[in-house]
């Protein structure tokens, strides 16, 4: 199965990704020459980790009729101050006191099954070329 993303440049430092019927916009902060009208592509990538884990937590709870009103996730990204690399990503699942005890271990397990996390655990080869 393939998904094609068409990447366009709407102006200044902005970059858009078009796929299916969606458009995702990225920009750079003012400090990097952008207009700060959207998250950077890297911030969107980082956000996808927590959003994917959140989807799995949400689906798990919904399938067991566990209310999700007071459930959230907090993702913390630790970057190296000297090099532009991410050293650690931590995701905390914030559960209410009345969350069923028997599901606490399982909800962590399902969050870990996120496909973005799996992508990072075994990254694909990325090929960049020219097409004319």
Domain contains 58: yes
pTM of the model: 0.89
Domain contains 45: yes
pLDDT digits (tens, 9 = 90+) for 60-116: 999 999 999 999 999 999 988 887 789 999 999 999 999 999 999 999 999 999 999
Domain contains 130: no
When divided into structural domains, the chain yields a total of 1
pLDDT digits (tens, 9 = 90+) for 23-33: 999 999 999 99
Q: Residue 92 sits in which domain range?
A: 39-121
Domain contains 103: yes
Domain contains 22: no
CATH of the domain at 57: 3.30.300.20
Three-class SS string for the chain?
Answer: CCCCCEEEEEECCEEEEEECCEEEEECCCHHHCCCCCCCCHHHHHHHHHHHHHHHHHHHHHHHCCCCCCCCEEEEEEEECCCCCCEEEEEEEEECCCCCCHHHHHHHHHHHHCCHHHHHHHCCCCCCCCCCC
pLDDT of 1 over the 90 cut:
no
């Amino acid at each position: 199965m393939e998904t094609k993303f068409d990447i366009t440049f709407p102006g200044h430092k902005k970059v858009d990704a078009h796929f299916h019927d969606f458009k995702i916009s990225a920009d750079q902060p003012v400090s990097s020459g952008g207009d700060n009208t959207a998250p950077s592509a890297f911030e969107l990538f980082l956000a996808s980790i927590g959003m994917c884990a959140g989807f799995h937590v949400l689906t798990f709870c919904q399938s067991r009729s566990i209310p999700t009103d007071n459930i959230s996730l907090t993702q913390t990204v630790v970057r190296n101050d000297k090099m532009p690399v991410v050293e650690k990503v931590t995701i905390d699942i914030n559960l209410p006191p009345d969350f069923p005890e028997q599901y606490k271990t399982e909800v962590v397990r399902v969050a870990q099954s996120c496909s973005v996390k799996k992508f990072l655990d075994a990254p694909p080869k990325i090929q960049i070329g020219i097409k004319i």
